[in-house]
Amino acid sequence: KNQVEQSPQSLIILEGKNCTLQCNYTVSPFSNLRWYKQDTGRGPVSLTIMTFSENTKSNGRYTATLDADTKQSSLHITASQLSDSASYICVVSVIQGAQKLVFGQGTRLTINP
């Protein structure tokens, strides 16, 4: 069964601090792994996309890593800002005719001043 599991479920940190979110997946056939940011009541917005051959990818203060052997990924946020408060969702893509995404349940990140 295709699954994506994330930890922690929720996280609270102070503004300016760094944090790392974790993702484990069992998805086949694997196409790529994405991290999305979802503000409350809004649709998800893509942060990074990585294929199995990519180990790391950055987007500003967001850096994603991928270990395709252990099927683990992480999202590191540097120098957090209040606007980083959101749910961060790990998503694995498969291609079966159309592109299909398998979503994790997300990590709810709260940045406190």
Partner 1 sequence: SQTIHQWPATLVQPVGSPLSLECTVEGTSNPNLYWYRQAAGRGLQLLFYSVGIGQISSEVPQNLSASRPQDRQFILSSKKLLLSDSGFYLCAWTRGTPSSYNEQFFGPGTRLTVL
Which stretches of the chain bind partner 1, using CB under 8 A? 4, 31-32, 41-46, 49, 51, 89, 93, 95, 97-101, 103-106
Determine the Cα–Cα distance for residues 56 and 62; give it in Å rounded to an integer. 11
Instruction: Write down the residue that tokens 């196409």 correspond to.
Output: 31
CA 86 to chain centre: 12
13 vs 101, which CB is nearer to partner 1? 101
18 vs 26, which CB is nearer to partner 1? 26
Q: Is 94 helix (H, G, I), strand (E, B) or coil?
A: strand
CB of 79 to partner 1, least distance (A): 26
13 vs 49, which CB is nearer to partner 1? 49
CB of 16 to partner 1, least distance (A): 28
Q: Which of 69, 64, 55 is nearest to 91 (CA)?
A: 64
